[in-house]
Amino acid sequence: MLDDGTWLHWPPHMQDQFTGILNGGDRVQATGRMETGPAGDTHFEVQSVTNLRTNATAKNPDFANGPPPPGRGTATGRPADREQRLRDLEDQVDQLLQEIQRLRREK
C-alpha cells in the first residue's frame, strides 16, 4: 500500500519476490495499470516495481501487455455494461490525478 492509498497488487505466488526488495517507507516506481476487481475494489496491477533506494527491481511475468479485456466479461462472455466501464475509467482518472498531485508536491 502506498502513502496515497494505492494498493499495489501482484500474483500471490510472487509475494516473496516483490516483498523481498521492499521495506516500509521505501520510495518505489511501479509500472502497470489500474484495475477494478469483481467486488469493485481498485488496485494497481503491477508489471514491475523498482525500489528507488536500492534500484532493485521485481517483475511480474504474468502481466499481460495491453489493457485488460473489455468489460472483463461475464460468465456468458458478454462485456460488462457501459456504466461499469465508465466507473472503471473514472477510477483510473482519479488515480492519475492523485499521482500528478503527488509528483507536483515532490518538486
**How do beta strands 42-51 and 8-9 pair?**
parallel
Tell me: the pLDDT tens digits for 32-65? 888 887 777 888 889 999 999 999 999 998 887 5
Q: What is the model's pLDDT at position 4?
A: 79
Q: Is the pLDDT of residue 97 over 60?
A: yes
Domains in the chain: boundaries:
8-105
Share of the chain above pLDDT 90, in %: 15
Residue 78 to residue 58: CA distance in whole angstroms: 35
How does pLDDT run across 56-73, given as a tens digit for each residue?
Answer: 999 998 887 555 544 443
3-state class (DSSP) for residue 18: helix
The pLDDT value recorded for residue 56 is 94
Beta bridge partners, 42, equal 36
